[in-house]
Amino acid sequence: MIYLDHNATTEPALEVIGEMVDALERAWANPSSMHAPGQAARSLLADARARVARFLGCAGAELVFTSGATESNHMAIEGALKARAAEGRTRLVLSAVEHPGLMALATRLEAQGVPVSRIPVDRQGRVDLAAAQALMGTDVAIVSVMGANNETGVLMPLAELAALAHGCGAWLHADATQLVGKARLNFASSGVDLLSVSAHKLHGPKGVGALLIRKGLALPALLGGRQERQRRGGTENTPGIAGFAAACDRAAQTLDDDLARMAALRDRLQAELLRTLPAVQVYGAQVPRLPNTLCVRFGPLHSDPVLGKLERAGVMVSSGAACTAAGTAPSHVLLAMGETPEQAQSGIRFSLGRDTTAADIEATVAGVHRAVGPMLADAGFTVPAFTPSSVATLQPGAAAHALAA
Ligand code: PMP
C-alpha cells in the first residue's frame, strides 16, 4: 500500500508513541494537583510547552493547548467576536476556501446575525487581495484565512493579509493546520495574531493541537476552567501534549531536507501524470503551494470511482477534504476557483509525507495509469501505453499543461 493522504492525517512517529506511553505510565497525575505526582505531570507539561513553542516560534505564554485545530479555530473566531463587540467590531471576514469546520462555524454565526464576508479566490485558489482590501472596515473584528489550503496545498499571502487586517484595526487568524511540518513557520515574525495548529498532521497524535494567541491580546475562553492560564478549561491531555512535543522535535530535526525531498517527489509525480495520461488538470500549480500536495482532475472523471480504482491499485488518496470524502458534494474549494459543479466533484488529492520515497512515486504513477487509463479511454480519450520513465527522461515542459490562470 502506498499512503499518499498525509493532508488527512499522518502516522504517529515512533518517538511520539514512546513519549506518549511514557507520559501515560509516569505522568498520569493531574498537573493541577499540588502533590509530587501532580508536579511531575506539571513539569512534563511545561517541558512540552517549551518544545512546541520553540518549533512554532512563539513564547510559551502565547500557546494554549486545545483538542485540535477545530477547537482552536472556534476559540479564535468566537473569542475575537466577543472580545471586540464593545468596540463596534462585529463582522467576520474569512476566505471562501476555509476548512469545512470553519465554514460551518461561519454559517452558524451568520444565522445568528453575525455579519460575515467571504473573500473570493482566483483560478489558482489564492485569496484575491484586492477583494480582501475592499472588504476591510472599522466594523471588522477578525479576518480568518488559512495558511495553506488542505485540498490544493495553495499557500495564502498571510503577511499581506496581516497588513490589510491591521490597517483597519482587525485581528488576523490563520488556520495553519496544513503548514506544520510542510513549511517553515514562525509565529513571532508572521504578523498573525491568532494561529491554529494540530498535532496529527505532523506525525503526532489526534485530539491535540494549539491556539497561539499573540501577547497582549485578550481572548475570552470558550471552555471555562483554570487551566492554560484560564484560557482553556479541562484537565490537560498530558500524553497527547507530550506526543505533540515529540512530533515537533522530530520535525525540526529534518524539516529543511523533508521540504526539499517532498517538493522534488511531488514535482516528479505531477510531471509523470501529465506525461503518461491525457486530460490531467493540475490545481494551483502556478502559485506557491505546499511541497507535498498535488491536486488534480482526470478529465471529466468523477472522483468516487477513481478513488475506488486507485485503492484497488494500492494507492490511498482522497478527493479533496477527507472530512467530506464520504459525500459526493462538489468541493467548495474547487467551486470557489471557478470550476463547474461536475469538475468540482472530480478533484483527487495526492499528499506526500516525509517518508514517501522515489519508489513510492514510481509505483503510484504506474498504479494511476493502470486504474485511470482505462476509465479515460472509456470516456473517449486516447491513452498512450504506459512507459515508465527515469527522472532524466522527464519532459521539462510537461508542467505547462497545468490549469491556466
Ligand atoms: N483545518 C484544516 C486546514 C485541516 O486540514 C484540518 C484537518 N482536516 C482541520 C482544520 C481540523 O483539524 P483537527 O482534526 O485537529 O480538528
Neighbours of 250 (CB within 10 A): 21
**Grid coordinates given for 145:** 484565512
Relative to the CA of 321, which ligand 1 atom is closest?
A: 8
Whole-angstrom CA distances from 215 to 31, 194, 241, 391 are 24, 10, 21, 48
Mean pLDDT score of the chain, rounded to an integer?
94
Domain 12-251: CATH class, spelled out: alpha beta
How much of the chain is in helix, strand and coil states, percent to nearest 5?
A: 45, 15, 40
Question: Per residue in 317-344, pLDDT tens?
Answer: 999 744 444 556 899 999 999 999 999 9
- Of 55-64, 118-127, 198-207, 391-400, the range with the lowest mean pLDDT is 391-400
Whether 168 is a known active-site residue: answer no
364 lines ligand 1 (CB under 6 A): no
pLDDT-above-70 percentage for the chain? 94
The whole-number average pLDDT for the span 112-127 is 98
* Per-residue pLDDT at 396 exceeds 90: no
pLDDT of residue 197: 98
Q: How far is the CA of 207 from the centre of ligand 1 (A)?
A: 10
pLDDT of residue 10: 98
* Per-residue pLDDT at 403 exceeds 60: no
32 within 8 A of 233, measured Cβ to Cβ:
no
Reported as a pLDDT band with limits 50, 70 and 90, residue 12 is: very high
Candidates 212, 271, 244; CA nearest to 63 is 212
The whole-number average pLDDT for the span 185-213 is 98
**In the chain, what are the domain boundaries?**
12-251, 255-404
pTM of the model: 0.94
Reported as a pLDDT band with limits 50, 70 and 90, residue 127 is: very high
Q: How far is the CA of 101 from the centre of ligand 1 (A)?
A: 8
Q: DSSP for 144-207?
A: E--SB-TTT-BBP-HHHHHHHHHHTT-EEEEE-TTTTTTS---HHHH--SEEEEEGGGGTS-SS
Reported as a pLDDT band with limits 50, 70 and 90, residue 389 is: confident
* Per-residue pLDDT at 404 exceeds 70: no
Q: How far is the CA of 316 from the centre of ligand 1 (A)?
A: 19
The whole-number average pLDDT for the span 291-313 is 97
Question: Per residue in 62-92, pLDDT tens?
Answer: 999 999 999 999 999 999 999 999 999 999 9
320 lines ligand 1 (CB under 6 A): no
**Residue in 67, 71, 99 to alter for ligand 1 test, most ligand atoms within 8 A of Cβ:** 99
Amino acid symbol at 252 = A
Relative to the CA of 146, which ligand 1 atom is closest?
A: 3
Relative to the CA of 7, which ligand 1 atom is closest?
A: 5
* Per-residue pLDDT at 301 exceeds 70: yes
166 within 8 A of 139, measured Cβ to Cβ:
no
99 lines ligand 1 (CB under 6 A): yes
- Catalytic: which of 58, 248, 295, 323? 323
- 328 or 269, greater pLDDT: 269
150 lines ligand 1 (CB under 6 A): yes
193 lines ligand 1 (CB under 6 A): no
198 lines ligand 1 (CB under 6 A): yes
Question: Per residue in 278-295, pLDDT tens?
Answer: 999 999 999 999 999 999
146 lines ligand 1 (CB under 6 A): yes
Neighbours of 39 (CB within 10 A): 14
CATH 3.40.50.1820 is right for the domain spanning 255-404: no
The whole-number average pLDDT for the span 111-139 is 98
